[in-house]
A = this chain, B = another copy of it.
Amino acid sequence: MPRPAILAAALSLAVAQLSAAATQAANVILFVGDGMDDQQVTIARDYLKGARGELLLDSMPVRGAVQILTVEDSTAGKPVYVADSANTATSLATGQVTSRGRIATSAGDDRDLVTIVELAQGAGLRTGIVTTASVTDATPASFAAHISYRLCENPGSMVDITVSGVELGGCEQDLKASGGPGSISEQLATSGLDVLLGGGAKHFEPPVEGGEQSVARLAQVEGFSVVRSRENLLAAQPGERLLGLFSASTMPVRLQGEGGRSAEAPEPSLLNRVHPYLGSVTLPEPMRCEPNPDAAGLPSLKEMTDVALQQLSHDNDRGFFLMVESASIDKQSHERKPCGSIGELEQLEEAVASAMAFAESHPDTLILVTADHSQAAQLVPQRSMFEQYTIPVYTTGKMARIITPEGSLMGVNYATNDFGYEEHTGANVPLYANTAAAGRVKPFQRQPELFGIMREYLGL
């Protein structure tokens, strides 16, 4: 090769290496507001900022909508129009559509699906997961574990899982004894994650399958510093790999209804029970939201996110992937607790603010904020639109009438079923992003496409 050609080739190689380095230094922060659909967002906006106000999410420069996909549990499964957090997190983490309840495994034939955390680790990037749920819950688990059923969260919950006396299934084929990877907590303990923060301490207490040490001990052996208090979290040293377990299971939420109240059933008068055109109805008493004392002393989602960003970015020229979940927008909606959902959406906002500030000083940071699926709560008239009619009109479900800080009453209805937990719903969900997403995020995409956007941004 003549000398100029060699020089040109060397230059070309150097340029390629430079752009590779640039790609490697990119960061992705994915926020998942569990169940955070447009009803939840509006309920939170009206309460936290007022009807004319604006959330941080609203002010983000890029917005799109995301169609949720799931299928029946067979290899050519038919579409199912309402999803759960397991299959949706799998879509985000792996780009694949799977059936409800599955954690990064395929519908029907139960193959392991490679996650963005694994791809990132393979390329030398740091990885982190932060959640207000148990770290073993469906959303976080789908990014760093593979198992056929979401409830197989620890070595003691792998076969014959029974809830309220009902046998719900198990993960026999995922037992180590069956040649599988073991339970979710065991997989997380050996996951290679740099940061894993949330609730779920109880899933790290049982002994590992076929052994005597606890899963928490296994995590320590694998190099995690296990922290269990806000103080220890905030005192974390740069470079430490952190497993934070701040509550036994889901972390207590920030806000609750006055005196712990949930949505309640309207109370029809005796006469109205005789005939729907007669009598009257007493709607639930208006209530305020108040701080939940159980959350005192726990780290906020923002604090956990701040520590994660510090650990992941410290002395790191290769970039990172971080997933942050505000889990209880959904969980509180299942339990018909609108104040709980509002507070957790506020927590998400604060954590997103931290990420946006981080991206100011680290411009190669893609921030995506989305929901995994929509939820049951509906913002409804606090008194029926038809109250001029002389017959009592009221929801057959449960409703709350919340006194907002601007002094109006906001009705929230939960009426998808008569069970202890409301259903999910199937509407497409919002997507918010920072300017790094411009030209990458479309006005409309299917949920698995978000995986591709993140993967491409990280050059994986």
Which residues of A are at the interface with B, using a C-beta cutoff of 8 A? Answer: 37-39, 41-43, 45-46, 50-52, 54, 58-65, 67, 69, 78-82, 84, 100, 164, 166, 168, 276, 374, 376, 378-382, 384-386, 388-391, 393-397, 404, 406-408, 410-411, 413, 415-419, 421, 423-430, 432, 443-444, 446
Contacts and interface: CB of A to CB of B under 8 A. Distances in A.
A424 to B, nearest CB: 6
Nearest to A425: B378
A416 B377 CA distance: 11
Given A42-B67, A78-B408, A396-B397, A417 B379 contact: no
Given A41-B428, A380-B82, A54 B389 contact: no
Contact of A444 (B59, B406, B418): B59
Given A78-B406, A388-B166, A427-B379, A417 B446 contact: no
Contacts of A393: 417-419
B396 A417 contact: yes
A385 B415 contact: no
Given A82-B379, A396-B417, A60 B427 contact: no
Contacts of A58: 65, 67, 443-444
A244 B78 CA distance: 45
Number of copies: 2
B417 A395 contact: yes
B388 A417 contact: no
B65 A427 contact: no
A81 B427 contact: no
A428 B58 CA distance: 11
A380 B407 CA distance: 33
Contact of A385 (B390, B391, B424): B424
A69 B54 CA distance: 13
A432 B425 contact: no
Q: Which 4 A-B pairs have the closest CB atoms?
A: A379-B426, A415-B415, A63-B443, A58-B444
Contacts of A67: 42, 45, 51-52, 58
Given A79-B408, A81-B379, A82-B381, A386 B417 contact: yes
Given A395-B415, A426-B379, A79 B42 contact: no
A376 B378 contact: yes
Contact of A166 (B389, B404, B419): B389
Contact of A394 (B391, B418, B446): B418
A421 B61 CA distance: 38
A9 to B, nearest CB: 41
Nearest to A396: B396
A384 B100 CA distance: 13
A417 B411 CA distance: 12
Contacts of A43: 426
A160 to B, nearest CB: 14
Nearest to A392: B418
A69 B52 CA distance: 7
B410 A60 contact: no
Contact of A276 (B52, B374, B418, B428): B418
Given A51-B81, A396-B417, A416-B413, A381 B424 contact: yes
Nearest to A53: B67
A27 B42 CA distance: 32
A389 to B, nearest CB: 5
A376 B378 CA distance: 8
Nearest to A420: B386
Nearest to A40: B427
A38 B427 contact: yes
Nearest to A64: B63
A429 B410 CA distance: 18
A394 B406 contact: no
A154 to B, nearest CB: 20
Contacts of A65: 38, 58, 63, 430
A419 B386 contact: yes
Contacts of A168: 388
Contacts of A427: 37-39, 41-42, 378-379
A37 B408 CA distance: 24
A151 to B, nearest CB: 11
